[in-house]
């Protein structure tokens, strides 16, 4: 087998090219026909150029949001699966997504209406919700003994998810009719973020998360074999687990606050990537981020064009493609 | 088997026969008496005096007929006319409270046809009900006449419905000669952004009102009541006029001028460039009752400010 550097180079080039191709073709696809030469026609004022507006205001932000959200959720999926030593773990498993959803529900139904840096209160509240959920789960898991107990983390996360779901239902029950409708729509997820503001707001958080993640792959390889085995090989398990939990949760919180909960990316993409590159996290983690980005951009292109009268929520497409595919993976093994 | 045994067995058979005959007779009598009772109770009073209205539009219809005094309870969402504030509330379209409805002792409950569970439970409780369903604007007048007939106010209902038809006809006639600008009618979106924009599709009473008011609905081809319009669809539909409806809580908390500036992001849209973006406020736009005439007139004034003063 070639050395890891060569394999990493091949993997990054391959998945990088796929992502570049989807980012370049993504904005060309849509329900309206636009002419590329008109889009880049400098003689027309931007305000007069509907084609350019569709390209730069309607489509490009979606593609970029798709890349950011897809990369974050897929990478978070890899980390949670390794950290919890459970192939079924997803970014939703530890309650971070539900916490984000509860934050958004509260911002919608309580009409908290503050805009800061081009970001409305709903994404801010949902990010705060995800951090709150992370804090609770983290405190639970580290309460009993030194380090994070995987089983407490898992059970605590599942319980938190159920608890947050109940609070979400309660919020919806109390809400005004139109607000209930908005909360339901939010829960379906959408990449139609409307401008670059929300993307720019989420970007620093995602970058911090990825910077933390980039220190993890070696430790994750060993942790996924077992905490004791990792410790025996000189990994500071407690520190690595804390880093992993915090960075994956940050990425998840940023993604969910930007696009709402988009399912299946965090579950399917890591498994698919492992089929291609093997189980070394030095390869799986970057490849999953790149492929998650491409996968979500493609799903959104399908969501934007497949339905004749409007658009489908992208979460429906990721589930329709991801669900059967994952079942096939299960049976195949 | 001895003779004595046979006699006992015969007696037992006879007893069993008599018992089962009696049982069947009792059962039949019970069924007959039950069905008789059903018909007796099923005879509804021709002029109900304790009406429960579960839909704001129905409440407005009954008040418009001059029969507001006969309304005994309304839904949680009723605000108009102001007189309804004195009435008890018995839930809404999705969560009617059967217990509260029963406690009112109504002699007529007016429900929406989709409230299937409520209808079944009222059948069991033998409460007379009237059910209806709206699809388009003309259905409002049909429903007014039908409710009028059901509550014994046919004449008043007829005068309300025909006055509405006359007014709508006048608005339509006045707008008919004017240019028909492409109009985007938005009834829902996220505050301060163009996310989750919902607009009227080419079906339903909002669409009908818009057409009567002299606007050409940009989503007329989408045969749905609500269209979720992505940013791309908003730009591609090129509306000359954008009308936003604000009502309920979304109105209470909105800084309208600031809200409308969200559209500035789409500079290529004709309505944005010519500053023809308007907010219309009030729940008459979302309550398909007698006030749709006022709502249609407001729409016409927004689309053709010179012709409709």
Cβ pair B192:A113 closer than 8 A: yes
Verify whether the Cβ–Cβ distance B235 to A58 is below 8 Å: yes
Q: Would you place residue B142 in the very low, low, confident or very high pLDDT band (cuts 50, 70, 90)?
A: very high
| Shortest CA gap B247–chain A (Å) | 10
B268/A195 touch (CB, cutoff 8 Å), yes or no: no
Q: State the Cα angle at A61 between A57 and A63, rounded to 5°.
A: 130
Distance, C-alpha B97 to centroid of its chain: 17
| One domain, residues B190 and B299 | yes
Residues of B in contact with A59 (CB under 8 A): 232
Give the residue numbers in B contacting A (CB under 8 Å), as ranges. Answer: 77, 92, 188, 190-196, 201, 221-224, 227-236, 238, 248-250, 252-253, 265-268, 273
Question: Residue ranges of the alpha helices (H) in chain B?
Answer: 3-42, 56-64, 98-104, 116-124, 137-150, 154-176, 205-212, 231-236, 248-252, 256-260, 270-273, 292-303
pLDDT at site A149: 74
Of the pLDDT bands very low, low, confident and very high (cuts 50, 70, 90), residue B36 is very low
Q: Is residue B18 part of a domain?
A: no
- B10 within a domain of the structure (yes/no): no
Q: How do B197-200 and B182-188 pair as beta strands?
A: antiparallel
- What's the gap between Cα B294 and its chain centre? 18
- On whether any CB of chain B is under 8 Å from the CB of A122, the answer is yes
Strands B241-246 and B277-281: parallel
Phi-psi sector, A308: left (phi>0), alpha (psi -120 to 50), beta? alpha
- pLDDT on residue A287: 96
CB atoms within 10 A of CB B53: 28
Q: How many domains does chain B have?
A: 2
How far apart (Å, rounded) are the C-alpha atoms in residues A237 and B58?
A: 66
Does residue A215 belong to the interface with chain B, where contact is any CB pair within 8 Å? no
For A112-129, how does the pLDDT look when each residue is reduced to its tens digit (9 = 90+)? 766 666 677 888 899 999
Question: Which of helix, strand or coil describes residue B54?
Answer: coil
Residue B186 has pLDDT above 90, yes or no: yes
What's the total number of domains in chain A?
A: 1
Residue with tokens 């037992």: B12
Q: Chain A contacts of B196, Cβ < 8 Å? A: 182, 185-186, 190
Q: Is the pLDDT of residue B37 over 70?
A: no
Which pLDDT tens digit goes with each residue over B208-253? 999 999 999 999 999 888 898 999 999 999 999 999 998 876 666 6
Q: Kindly state whether A333 is in contact with chain B, defined as any CB-CB distance less than 8 angstroms.
A: no
What is the average pLDDT across B156-182?
96
Q: Where are the alpha helices (DSSP H) in A144-215?
A: 150-174, 177-188, 197-213
Q: Which residue's entry shows tokens 């009696």?
A: B22
Q: Does the pLDDT at position B182 exceed 50?
A: yes
Of the candidate ranges A38-52, B197-211, B281-295, the one whose mean pLDDT is the lowest: A38-52
Per-residue pLDDT at B305? 93
Mean pLDDT over B147-172 rounds to 96
Does residue A237 contact residue A218 with C-beta atoms inside 8 Å? no
Helix or strand or coil: residue B250? helix
Phi, psi of B214 (to 5 degrees): 95, 20
Tokens of A311: 């658009």
Across the strands, what pairs with B229?
B197
pLDDT at A256 over 90: yes
Cβ-Cβ contacts under 8 Å, A182 against chain B: 188, 190, 196
The complex scores an ipTM of: 0.73
pLDDT tens profile B250-264: 666 668 888 899 999
Q: Does residue B278 share a domain with residue B204?
A: yes
Q: Which residues contact B38 (CB under 8 A, 6 or more apart)?
A: B126
Among chain A residues, the shortest Cα distance to B228 is held by A310
Whether B89 and B146 share a structural domain: yes
Inter-chain CB proximity B231 and A194 less than 8 Å: yes
Rounded alpha-carbon distances, angstroms, from residue A208 to A15, A127, A254, B48: 22, 15, 11, 69
User: Which residue on chain A is closest to B251 by alpha carbon?
Assistant: A111
- Chain B residues lying within 8 Å of A111, measured CB to CB: 191, 249, 252-253
Q: Residue B68's domain spans which residues?
A: 51-165
Q: Is residue B258 part of a domain?
A: yes
pLDDT at B13: 62
Could you say which of B221, B232, B250 has the minimum Cβ distance to residue A59? B232
Instruction: Count the neighbouring beta carbons within 10 Å of the beta carbon of residue A45.
Output: 10
Residue in B170, B169, B166, B163 with CA at minimum distance from that of residue B66: B163
Residues B265 and B209 in one domain: yes
Residues A182-197 pLDDT 10s = 888 888 888 988 788 8
Q: What share of chain B is helix, strand, coil (3-state, %, to 5)?
A: 50, 15, 35
Q: Which of B149, B159, B64, B66 is nearest to B108 (CA)?
A: B149
B92, B188, B195 ranked by CB distance to A178: nearest: B188
- Please indicate whether, in this complex, the C-beta atoms of B194 and A194 are within 8 angstroms of each other: yes
Which residues from B are below 8 Å from A56, CB to CB? none
Instruction: Give the pLDDT band (50/70/90) at residue B189.
Output: confident
CA nearest neighbour of A44 among A31, A33, A56, A32: A56
Structure tokens at A200: 């720019």
On whether any CB of chain B is under 8 Å from the CB of A40, the answer is no
Nearest to B191 among A48, A49, A113 (CB): A113
- CATH number of B128's domain: 3.40.50.1980
Position B254 scores a pLDDT of 63
Count Cβ atoms below 10 Å from residue A232 Cβ, excluding itself.
11
- B36 lies in a domain? no
Residue labelled with tokens 């309505």: B271
Q: Which of A28, A45, A53 to mutate to test the interface with B (most CBs of B within 10 A)?
A: A53
DSSP structure class, residue A278: -
Q: B193 falls in which pLDDT band (50, 70, 90)?
A: confident
CB contact under 8 A, A31 and B192: no
Tell me the HSE value of A322 on the side-chain side, using a 13 A CA sphere. 23
Q: Which of B235, B261, B271, B274 to mutate to test the interface with A (most CBs of A within 10 A)?
A: B235
Min Cα–Cα distance to chain A from B164, Å: 28
Cβ of residue A309 closer than 8 Å to a chain B Cβ:
yes
Does A59 touch chain B if contact means CB atoms closer than 8 Å?
yes
Name the CA dihedral angle for B144, B145, B148, B149, rounded to a multiple of 10 degrees: -150
- A218 pLDDT band, cuts 50/70/90, is confident
Residue A194 contacts B where some CB pair is shorter than 8 Å: yes
Q: Which of A192, A193, A195, A259 to mutate to test the interface with B (most CBs of B within 10 A)?
A: A192
Backbone angles phi, psi at B246, to 5 degrees: -120, 130
Cα–Cα distance between A163 and A158 in angstroms, integer?
A: 9
Give the DSSP H or E segment for B37. helix B3-42
Band of residue B21 on the pLDDT scale cut at 50, 70, 90: low
- Please indicate, yes or no, whether residues B187 and B160 belong to a single structural domain of this protein: no
**CB within 8 Å of B151: residues ≥ 6 apart:** B47, B48, B51, B62, B65, B67, B70, B108
Lowest mean pLDDT, pick from A25-39, A204-218, A282-296: A25-39
φ, ψ dihedrals at A92, nearest 5°: -85, -15
- Mean pLDDT estimate for chain A: 88
Q: State whether residue A115 sits within 8 Å of chain B by CB.
A: yes
Cβ–Cβ < 8 Å for A248, A75: yes
| Preferred mutation among B76, B182, B193 to probe A, highest tally of A CBs within 10 A | B193
Report which of residues B9 and B105 the model is more confident about. Answer: B105
Q: What is the pLDDT of residue B38?
A: 37
pLDDT at B129: 92
Please report which confidence band the pLDDT of residue B35 belongs to, taking 50, 70 and 90 as the band edges: very low
Domain termination site, one of B135, B165, B195: B165
What CA–CA distances, in Å, run from B246 to B190, B253, B272? 12, 10, 19
Of these ranges, A243-247, A298-302, A329-333, the one predicted with the greatest mean pLDDT is: A298-302
The Cα of A96 is separated from the nearest Cα of chain B by a number of Å equal to: 23
Determine the structural domain holding residue A104 and report its residue range.
4-332
Could you report the per-residue pLDDT of A133-184, keeping only the tens digit for each?
Answer: 989 988 887 776 666 678 888 888 889 999 999 999 999 888 877 778 788 8
Instruction: Evaluate whether residue B308 is within a structural domain.
Output: no
Distance from CA of A202 to the nearest CA of B (A): 16
Residue B33 lies in a domain: no
Kindly state the helix (H) or strand (E) to which residue B246 belongs, with its residue range: strand B241-246
B165 pLDDT above the threshold of 80: yes
pLDDT of residue A173: 83
Residue A5 has pLDDT above 70, yes or no: yes
pTM: 0.78
Strand partners of residue B130: B110
> Which residues from chain B sit within 8 angstroms of residue A47, using beta carbons?
267-268, 273
pLDDT value, residue A100:
93
- Residues contacting residue A244 through CB under 8 Å, at least 6 positions apart: A79, A82, A83, A213, A216, A219, A220, A223
Beta strand B226-229 with B197-200: parallel, antiparallel or unpaired? antiparallel
* B222 contact residues in A (CB cutoff 8 A): 309-310
């Amino acid at each position: 087998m070639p050395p890891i550097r060569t394999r990493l180079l091949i993997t990054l080039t391959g998945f990088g090219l796929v992502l570049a191709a989807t980012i370049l073709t993504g904005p060309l696809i849509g329900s309206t026909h636009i002419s590329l030469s008109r889009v880049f026609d400098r003689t027309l004022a931007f305000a007069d150029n509907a084609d350019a507006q569709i390209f730069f205001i309607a489509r490009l932000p979606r593609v970029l949001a798709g890349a950011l959200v897809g990369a974050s959720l897929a990478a978070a999926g890899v980390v949670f699966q390794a950290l919890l030593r459970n192939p079924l773990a997803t970014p939703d498993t530890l309650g971070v997504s539900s916490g984000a959803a509860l934050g958004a529900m509260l911002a919608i139904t309580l009409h908290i209406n503050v805009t800061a840096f081009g970001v409305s209160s709903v994404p801010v509240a949902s990010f705060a919700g995800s951090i709150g959920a992370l804090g609770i789960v983290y405190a639970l898991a580290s309460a009993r003994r030194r380090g994070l107990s995987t089983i407490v983390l898992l059970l605590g996360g599942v319980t938190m998810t159920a608890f947050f779901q109940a609070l979400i239902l309660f919020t919806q029950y109390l809400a005004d009719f139109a607000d209930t409708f908005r909360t339901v729509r939010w829960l379906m997820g959408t990449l139609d973020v409307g401008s670059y503001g929300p993307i720019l707001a989420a970007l620093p958080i995602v970058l911090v998360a990825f910077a933390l993640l980039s220190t993890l792959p070696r430790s994750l390889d060993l942790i996924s074999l077992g905490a004791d085995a990792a410790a025996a090989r000189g990994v500071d398990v407690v520190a690595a687990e804390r880093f992993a939990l915090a960075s994956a949760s940050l990425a998840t919180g940023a993604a969910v606050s930007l696009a709402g909960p988009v399912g299946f990316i965090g579950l399917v993409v890591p498994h698919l990537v492992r089929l291609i590159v093997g189980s070394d996290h030095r390869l799986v983690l970057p490849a999953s981020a790149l492929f998650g980005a491409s996968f979500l951009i493609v799903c959104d292109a399908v969501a934007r064009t497949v339905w004749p009268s409007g658009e489908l929520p992208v979460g429906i497409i990721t589930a329709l493609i991801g669900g059967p595919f994952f079942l096939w993976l299960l049976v195949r093994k | 088997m001895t003779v004595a045994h046979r006699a006992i067995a015969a007696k037992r058979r006879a007893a069993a026969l008599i018992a089962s005959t009696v049982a069947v007779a009792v059962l039949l009598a019970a069924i007959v008496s039950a069905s008789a009772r059903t018909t007796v109770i099923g005879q509804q009073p021709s002029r109900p005096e304790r009406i429960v209205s579960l839909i704001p539009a129905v409440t407005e219809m009954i008040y418009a007929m001059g029969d507001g005094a006969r309304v005994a309870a309304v839904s949680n969402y009723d605000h108009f006319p102001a007189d309804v504030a004195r009435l008890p509330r018995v839930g809404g379209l999705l969560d009617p409270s059967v217990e509260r409805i029963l406690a009112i002792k109504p002699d007529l409950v007016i429900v929406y046809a989709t409230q299937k569970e409520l209808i079944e439970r009222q059948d069991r409780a033998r409460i007379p009900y009237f059910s209806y369903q709206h699809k388009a604007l003309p259905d409002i007048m049909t429903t007014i006449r039908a409710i009028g007939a059901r509550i014994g106010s046919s004449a008043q209902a007829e005068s309300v419905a025909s006055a509405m038809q006359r007014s709508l006809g006048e608005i339509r006639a006045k707008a008919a000669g004017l240019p028909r600008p492409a109009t985007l009618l938005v009834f829902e979106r996220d505050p301060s952004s163009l996310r989750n924009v919902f607009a009227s599709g080419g079906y339903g009473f909002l669409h009908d009102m818009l057409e009567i008011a002299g606007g050409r609905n940009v989503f007329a081809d989408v045969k749905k009541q609500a269209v979720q319009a992505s940013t791309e669809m908003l730009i591609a539909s090129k509306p000359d006029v954008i009308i936003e409806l604000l009502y309920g809580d979304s109105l209470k908390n909105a800084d309208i001028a600031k809200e409308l500036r969200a559209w500035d992001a789409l500079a290529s849209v004709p309505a944005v460039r010519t500053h023809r973006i308007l907010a219309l406020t009030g729940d008459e736009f979302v309550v398909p009752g007698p006030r749709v005439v006022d709502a249609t007139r407001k729409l016409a004034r927004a689309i053709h400010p010179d012709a409709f003063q």
